[in-house]
Amino acid sequence: MYQASIPVFIRQLNNLSAILKKGEEHALAKKIEPEVFINARLAPDMFPLSRQVQIATDGVKGAAARLAGVEVPSYPDTEKTFSELQARIAKTIEFAKTFSAKQIDGTEEKKVTLKMRDREVGFLGQAYLLNFVLPNLYFHITATYAILRHNGVDIGKKDFIGGL
């Protein structure tokens, strides 16, 4: 459980950070106001880039904490700049690094309950990680990538996957 979660979370958040850095550099080079990218969406009914990053980090901190049985930290969703989004990612990576394999391994059958908008959803630990947390993490990082790519940022699959 640890190997499928914490190292993956850290790697993906580092890749997200690198993608955002390229987005910011592109905005500066092309003299585009950075908030254009921060507020950009793929479709009118989708969240903007800032919210995609917030949800990705929320998923990581929530999963690590729930699996380890500790309090989930609360972050206000107030980021409006690339530097604020980068700080949020860095804070989440540092939080994830505080967990050991001893805290996460063996949680395959741990009961996890999430409060969704109007209901509660229950999972066992492994299903929570593999069928909910990881797909959501990849979805929101992909949405961030797609927003930036759609707006002309020179990023590709290599940036999404990161260094091998």
61-80 pLDDT, tens digit per residue, is: 999 999 999 999 999 999 99
pLDDT tens-digit readout, 123-135:
999 999 999 999 9
How far apart CA 149 and CA 164 sit, in angstroms, is 21
Confidence grade of residue 48 (pLDDT, cut at 50, 70, 90): very high
Judged against a pLDDT cut of 90, whether residue 146 lies above it is answered with yes
3-class DSSP state of 120? strand
Residue type for position 117: R
Give bridge partners of residue 112 from the DSSP assignment: 123
Q: What local confidence, expressed as pLDDT, does residue 164 receive?
A: 66
Judged against a pLDDT cut of 90, whether residue 157 lies above it is answered with yes
3-class DSSP state of 124? strand
How far apart CA 38 and CA 124 sit, in angstroms, is 35
Q: Please give the CATH number for the structural domain made up of 2-161.
A: 1.20.120.450
Quote the pTM value: 0.95
Phi and psi based region of residue 72 (left: phi greater than 0; alpha: psi -120 to 50; beta: remaining): beta
Q: Residue ranges of the domains in the chain? A: 2-161
Buried-exposed string 50-67: b where 16+ CB fall within 10 A, e elsewhere? bbbbbbbbbbbbbbbbbb
Closest CA to 146 of 46, 72, 1: 46
* CA distances in angstroms from 102 to 45, 69, 108, listed in the order given: 41, 12, 13
Q: Which helix (H) or strand (E) holds 104?
A: helix 101-104
**Burial grade of 115 (CB within 10 A; 0-12, 13-18, 19 or more):** exposed
Using a pLDDT cut of 90, give the percent of the chain over it. 96
